[in-house]
C-alpha cells in the first residue's frame, strides 16, 4: 500500500514533536536487532565482525545481559 502525502506529513510532524520518543524507539530497535538478528544483513555483519576473533558475539551478549540485570535491580530498588 502506498503511503499518502498526508500520512508522510503526519509522520514527519510526529517525529519533529517527539524526538525523544523516536530516539528511544530507534535505540530499542537497535538493541533488539543486535540481540536477535532477523535480517541476513545483520546476521552477516555479526559473522564478519567475529570471524577474526576481534569480537566475540556470545561474550557481548553476556555482557549486555549483565548490564541489563544490573539496571533492572537499580530501577527496582528505586521504586
pLDDT tens digit sequence for 7-63:
999 999 999 999 999 999 999 999 999 999 999 999 999 999 999 999 999 999 999
- pTM value is 0.80
Nearest to 42 by CA among 28, 31, 52: 31
Distance CA 37, CA 60 (A): 14
Q: Are residues 79 and 51 in the same domain?
A: yes
Residue 1 — very low, low, confident or very high, per pLDDT cuts 50/70/90?
confident
Can you tell me whether residue 29 is helix, strand or coil?
helix
Domain that holds residue 64: 39-79
- 75 and 46 in one domain? yes
* Cβ contacts of 37 within 8 Å, gap of 6 or more: 43, 45, 46
Amino acid at each position: 500500500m502506498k503511503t499518502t502525502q498526508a500520512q508522510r506529513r503526519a509522520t514527519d510532524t510526529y517525529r519533529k514533536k517527539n524526538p525523544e520518543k523516536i530516539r528511544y524507539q530507534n535505540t530499542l530497535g537497535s538493541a533488539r536487532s543486535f540481540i536477535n538478528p532477523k535480517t541476513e544483513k545483520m546476521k552477516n555483519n555479526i559473522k564478519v565482525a567475529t570471524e577474526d576473533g576481534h569480537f566475540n558475539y556470545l561474550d557481548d551478549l553476556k555482557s549486555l545481559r549483565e548490564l541489563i540485570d544490573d539496571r533492572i535491580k537499580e530501577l527496582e530498588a528505586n521504586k
